A and B are shown apart, each in its own frame.
Chain A
Amino acid sequence: MSHQSAQAKKEEKELEISIEEVVVEQTRDSKPDYVRVKYTDRDRKKVVGHTRVFILAD
């Protein structure tokens, strides 16, 4: 698993992550609440997944 993971990282190095938007969901603060990340395939044609990364660090 670990070696596969590293290999996957190597292969994916070239694949760019497209951060679509930084969403400020609640407007009491100017800091982002979460970052929505959209992943596309190598050709950037097919969306392969979404992640909402919550910003919980001060």
Chain B
Amino acid sequence: MRTLGGEFFKRLRLVKWFDWLNQTYVVVAILGSVWAFVWGAETDKELLFGIALSTYFVVLLIVFVATVFMYGKKARFSEATKCLHEATHSARDAFRYMMWCLNPEEVGFTFEPRHFRAEIERCLTATASAFSLTTGVSCRASIKVLAWDQAGSGGLHVRTLARDTQSAGRARSEDRDGGRLHRIEENTDFWLIHRRKCSWFFSGNLPALQHYENSSIPLGWKPGDHWPLPYKSTIVLPIRYVYTNDDRDSLCSREADQGKLDEQDLYGFLAIDAGPRKAFDVRYDVEMGNAIADALVPIFHAYRQIREMTKPPVNTGVPQ
């Protein structure tokens, strides 16, 4: 319920300060009471009473601090729902645009990659904002897609399709590092998901992670050297569809999907990272990221179809 006083403090942006002042007061009051009871006692009885009461207050203080810590984190997640809504809203708009582009004769325009990328960037910007709110530090969000090295020795490598607008400028050099191929097997996070060794990759301390490989880490780097990446915490989530029993048994199942139980269709990866260590919470941040990654699946399914539609036909040498 909104009150006039509450609105006043909110407008002055003093509510958070007021909360902190209140919490500090409680801590000081409890510690002061404990000090007065223990050091002000003159008899053994008073001292015992003081110790008993102090123990009670100390337990109360621990519970209070734990509650503030736990609910403070949860409160940040509730604040992030607005950004989460914006991210899924942008994903919805992107999907609608893709659906239109699948019927160019009907709508009168064709697929424009720049427009698609702008929609995806809006989604990623809102995603980065959501994670920045939950973590309290600046976060980056990007989508990686896969390429096949047909000209070289063959193999999958990873490329950045889009980034959030805040980090896009800073990461430009990171994305254009001399046309270097980021082979999937040289990147522990993407590789493990691709191999289905894990459903997502999470690390709150990459420099301390043994056997972690990343193709952006320069050759010759060894543990103990300055950490070369702009992030130490990361979450990587697959943009994928895994065929389940529902595809086999439900009313909506397709005959073509019958033999695909437990197979996965992998479209790419949603990567969230942050500079400091231990930025993310494995319980909630992974779920939040998965919500967005799942919302991206239909978009990339349509993107694949549109790419196929807009490819030039193979020149067979036979006049049409």
Binding site for B on A (CB under 8 A): 1-10, 12, 17, 19, 22, 26-33, 35, 37, 39, 49-58
Q: Which of B148, B161, B204, B213 contacts A2 (CB 8 A)?
A: B204
Q: Which B residues lie within 8 Å of A5 (CB)? A: 188, 192, 197-198, 201-203
Q: In the complex, what residues of B have CB within 8 A of residue A1's CB?
A: 198, 202, 282
Asked if residues B192 and A8 are in contact (CB atoms below 8 Å), the reply is: yes
Whether the Cβ atoms of A52 and B197 lie closer than 8 Å is no
- The listed residue (A4, A10, A22, A51) touching B196 by CB distance below 8 A is A51
Further pairs besides A2-B205, A27-B314: 16, Cβ < 8 Å: A5-B197, A6-B212, A9-B197, A10-B210, A28-B314, A35-B156, A37-B194, A49-B196, A49-B263, A52-B263, A54-B265, A54-B267, A55-B146, A57-B145, A57-B159, A57-B161
Give the most central of B154, B195, B209, B314: most A CB within 10 Å: B195
Q: Which residues of A sit under 8 angstroms from B211, Cβ to Cβ? A: 6-7, 9-10
Residues in chain B near residue A52, CB distance under 8 A: 263-266
Alpha-carbon separation in the docked complex, A11 to B134 (Å): 34
Which residues of the partner chain A approach B210 to less than 8 Å between Cβ atoms? Answer: 3, 6-7, 10
Smallest beta-carbon distance B194→chain A, Å: 7
B contact residues vs A (CB 8 Å cutoff): 145-148, 150, 154, 156, 159, 161, 185, 188, 191-192, 194-198, 201-205, 209-213, 260, 262-268, 282, 300, 303-304, 307-308, 311-314
| Closest-CB distance, A14 to chain B (whole angstroms) | 13
Beyond A28-B311, A28-B313, A56-B268, is A9–B145 a contact (Cβ under 8 Å)? no
Can you offer 7 A-B residue contacts whose CB atoms are under 8 A? A6-B211, A22-B154, A28-B312, A30-B314, A31-B148, A53-B266, A55-B146
Q: Which residues of A contact B196 (CB under 8 A)?
A: 39, 49, 51
User: Contact partner of B266 among A2, A6, A31, A51, CB < 8 A?
Assistant: A51
Contact A57/B146 with A9-B192, A12-B195, A33-B304 known, Cβ cut-off 8 Å: yes
Whether the Cβ atoms of A29 and B311 lie closer than 8 Å is yes
A8 surroundings in chain B (CB, below 8 A): 192, 197-198
Does the CB pair B304–A50 fall under 8 Å? no
8 Å CB contact of A56 from B213, B260, B264, B300: B300
Cα distance, A4 to B148, chains bound together (Å): 29
| Distance in angstroms between the alpha carbons of A58 and B224 in the assembled complex | 37
A54 to B159 alpha-carbon distance, docked (Å): 13
Q: How far is the CA of A37 from the CA of B101 in the complex (A)?
A: 30
When distances are taken between beta carbons in the complex, the residues of chain B under 8 Å from A26 are: 308
